[in-house]
């Protein structure tokens, strides 16, 4: 392909990234630095904001790990399914993405509520009811529900591309199925798991509607704090500073993750 | 060569909306959703069409979203008439994003009392107002307290269990409610935050979304909800177990602010005038169940009984609230959890 053609084909994507991603970051950075580094000092010098950053990271880590733990077996079965079974598994997986986040949250409220589905079943069984709504537990369940497809699809795509002959070769050399899976399939699917984890983690770090709707009086994350600063306080500069901190935190986590994965590779 | 042609075609297609926008055959206005949108169509846009023969395209937009759009294109707004929150309308006026409303441009403004415009320096006018009142499940709370202070103390004492919801300070009208509470406690902010904290163990949730709040009440997750009057009365009308009332000594005034962004075409004044016209105002009040501001309108008795009278509401000091909000928000996040 000629160089000019390559440039022309790449141009729309590059322009889109420049104007849709880098320009807003530059504007946000400029806004946050209008009064010097004071706003960053406010964030990093105050235990409350550090606690919110820690809560945001912890929530994203927990959601990512649960999505990985539940999603990997699903991805394995999906990758090896054929015909209508595969289609059914796919539809079941992506169904949460077809529903608006607000409607989905209201659905969870019906399930978690004091007189909701879970408590109705518990009460019918003579068991004590649970106060799940407006808690971190409710937030984690709702986020895993909607973010798990990103994990599963990433892992399944990698698993589908694996040559079945590799497992057959391991079996021929005397490896039992579990050993072949642990030593052959898992390492080779690591790339998909990392991609899925990055997607789930990044999406979770930016989630605030689910946190706002499903959380309680004590649940706070960085995106929600940013939303408050914009909608209630009208403090664009502080919202921009918090946005930059959120971005830097995500980039730092990805960098650490990259180093960790490089260390794990055989 | 073929690629170049494709590029030209794409450019032509992409430029089409801009070409269409040059011809001013319609204006773009904003509204809230649901019955508000229906009313904007049936009352305001219909009046505008009748007067000018042109369409008013109605966009569903939240106040903060509108503010970002106006700030992003000062003097060349993508919206011709906007509905803002009270504090955003003050901010927009101060930032030079709005045009002053005058009798020459909007004749019906003469019938809108000054109290509905003064704090906004005529850069915006209230189009309708409401109040935050109390909804109760009459089966569980047959005799609710008559005044706010008793209600707050009884909630803090756990009289109603953890089945109460008040608005959070972090929702857009939360600071106004907090201001109202300070007026009940002689301006003592510390006392108000102490009360918020004292109620916390018995608050199912300080609500942030009006839909979420009403859903909790409708699902009988809570028995007491502090909520907007129009929606509260409408809900109580449809659900006999629900009651709505204004505790003493009244409530704070919550309003939808109407404004024309600077740079919007003069045609947009016609829409503003339509919104404030007696016929459209009455039609709006009948549909949304909130009081309107044109003083020449006479409500039918049945409707009047459903509307919060002006003398029962206190208009917040919005300039003060704008100054106070960052501190209140910070305090709320740290203490009320």
Q: What is the mean pLDDT of chain B?
A: 90
Distance of CA B174 to the CA centre of its chain: 12
From the CA of A76, how many Å to the nearest CA of chain B?
38
* Long-range Cβ contact pairs of B233-237 (< 8 A, separation 24 or more): B233/B289, B233/B306, B234/B289, B235/B135, B236/B135, B237/B306
Q: What's the whole-number average pLDDT of chain A?
A: 90
Asked which of B126-135, B193-202, B208-217, B248-257 is least confident by mean pLDDT, the reply is: B208-217
Whether B81 and B29 have beta carbons less than 8 Å apart is answered as: yes
ipTM of predicted assembly, 2 dp: 0.76
Sign of CA dihedral B219, B224, B230, B236: positive
- Whether A233 and B64 lie within 8 Å, measured CB to CB: no
Q: What is the C-alpha to C-alpha distance for residues A239 and A231, in angstroms, rounded to an integer?
A: 10
CA distances from B161 to A111, B166, B221 (A): 22, 14, 11
A38-87 pLDDT, tens digit per residue, is: 999 999 999 999 999 999 999 999 999 999 999 999 999 999 999 999 99
**B258-304 pLDDT per residue, tens:** 999 999 999 999 999 999 999 999 999 999 889 999 999 999 998 89
Interface with B, mutate which of A107, A217, A219 (most B CBs under 10 A)? A217
> How remote is the C-alpha of B328 from its chain's centroid?
21
Using CA coordinates, name the residue in chain A closest to B337.
A218
Asked if B109 and B101 count as a contact pair (C-beta separation under 8 A), the reply is: yes
Q: Which two tokens stand for residue A167?
A: 């497992």
Mean pLDDT of A100-110: 85
Q: Quick one: which of A231, A244, A221, A209 has its CA closest to A32? A: A244
Give the pairing of strands B164-165 and B224-228: parallel
Q: What's the average model confidence in pLDDT over A138-164?
A: 93
The predicted pLDDT at position B222 comes to 93
Q: What is the pLDDT of residues A8-27, one digit of tens each?
A: 999 999 998 888 888 889 98
Q: Is the pLDDT of residue B3 over 80?
A: no
Q: Which of A8, A11, A233 to mutate to test the interface with B (most CBs of B within 10 A)?
A: A233
pLDDT in tens, A147-157: 999 999 999 99
- DSSP letter assigned to residue A35: T
pLDDT band at residue A109 under the 50/70/90 scheme:
confident
Closest-CA residue of B relative to A232 is: B172
Structure tokens at A21: 């991603």
Chain B residues whose CB is inside 8 A of the A48 CB are 333-334
C-alpha–C-alpha distance, residues A40 and A38, integer Å: 5
Q: Mind telling me how many Å the CA of A254 is from chain B's nearest CA?
A: 29
Number of alpha helices (DSSP H) and beta strands (DSSP E) in chain A: 15, 0
DSSP code of residue B263: T
Please, are residues B115 and B317 in contact by the beta-carbon 8 Å criterion? no
CA gap B39, A260 in Å, rounded = 58
Under the banding of pLDDT at 50, 70 and 90, the label for residue A266 is low
């Amino acid at each position: 392909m000629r160089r000019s053609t390559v440039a022309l084909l790449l141009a729309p994507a590059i322009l889109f990234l420049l104007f849709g991603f880098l320009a807003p970051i530059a504007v946000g950075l400029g806004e946050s630095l209008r009064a010097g580094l004071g706003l960053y000092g406010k964030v990093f010098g105050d235990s409350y904001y550090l606690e919110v950053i820690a809560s945001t990271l912890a929530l994203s880590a927990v959601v990512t790990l649960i999505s990985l733990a539940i999603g990997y077996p699903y991805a394995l079965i999906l990758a090896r399914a054929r015909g209508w079974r595969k289609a059914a598994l796919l539809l079941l997986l992506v169904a949460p993405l077809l529903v608006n986040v607000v409607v989905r949250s209201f659905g969870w409220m019906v399930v978690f509520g004091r007189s909701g589905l879970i408590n109705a079943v518990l009460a019918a069984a003579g068991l004590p009811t649970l106060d799940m709504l407006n808690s971190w537990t409710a937030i984690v369940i709702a986020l895993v529900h909607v973010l798990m497809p990103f994990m599963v699809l990433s892992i399944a795509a990698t698993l589908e591309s694996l040559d079945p002959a590799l497992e057959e070769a391991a079996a021929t050399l005397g490896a039992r199925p579990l050993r072949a899976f642990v030593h052959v399939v898992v390492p080779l699917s690591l790339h998909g798991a990392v991609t899925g984890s990055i997607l789930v983690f990044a999406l979770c770090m930016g989630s605030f509607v689910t946190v706002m709707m499903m959380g309680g009086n004590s649940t706070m994350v960085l995106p929600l704090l940013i939303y408050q600063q914009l909608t209630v306080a009208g403090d664009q500069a502080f919202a921009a500073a918090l946005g930059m901190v959120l971005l830097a935190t995500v980039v730092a986590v990805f960098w650490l993750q990259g180093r960790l994965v490089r260390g794990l590779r055989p | 060569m073929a690629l170049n042609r494709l590029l030209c075609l794409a450019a032509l297609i992409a430029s089409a909306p801009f070409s269409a926008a040059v011809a001013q055959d319609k204006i773009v206005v904003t509204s809230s959703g649901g019955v508000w949108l229906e009313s904007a169509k049936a009352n305001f846009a219909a009046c505008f069409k009748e007067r000018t023969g042109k369409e008013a395209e109605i966009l569903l937009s939240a106040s903060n979203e509108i503010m970002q759009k106006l700030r992003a294109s000062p003097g060349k707004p993508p919206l011709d008439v906007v509905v803002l929150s009270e504090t955003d309308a003050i901010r927009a006026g101060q930032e030079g994003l709005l045009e002053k409303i005058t009798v020459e441009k909007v004749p019906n403004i003469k019938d809108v009392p000054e109290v509905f415009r003064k704090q906004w320096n005529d850069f915006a006018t209230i189009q309708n107002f409401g109040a935050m009142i109390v909804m109760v499940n009459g089966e569980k709370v047959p005799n609710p307290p008559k005044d706010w202070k008793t209600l707050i103390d009884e909630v803090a004492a756990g009289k109603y269990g953890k089945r109460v919801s008040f608005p959070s300070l972090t929702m857009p009208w939360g600071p106004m409610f907090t201001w109202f509470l300070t007026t009940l406690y002689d301006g003592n902010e510390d006392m108000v935050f102490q009360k918020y904290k004292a109620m916390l163990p018995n608050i199912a949730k300080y609500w942030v979304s009006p839909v979420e709040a009403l859903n909790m009440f409708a699902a009988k997750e809570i028995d007491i909800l502090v909520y907007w009057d129009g929606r509260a009365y409408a809900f109580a009308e449809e659900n006999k177990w629900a009651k709505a009332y204004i505790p003493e000594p009244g409530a704070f005034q919550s309003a939808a602010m109407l404004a024309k962004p600077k740079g919007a075409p003069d045609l947009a004044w016609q829409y503003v005038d339509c919104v404030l016209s007696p016929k459209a105002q009455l039609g709006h009040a009948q549909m949304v169940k909130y009081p309107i501001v044109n003083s020449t309108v006479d409500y039918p008795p049945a409707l009047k009984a459903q509307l919060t009278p002006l003398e029962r509401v206190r208009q917040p000091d919005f300039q003060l609230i704008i100054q106070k909000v960052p501190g209140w928000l910070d305090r709320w996040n740290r203490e009320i959890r």
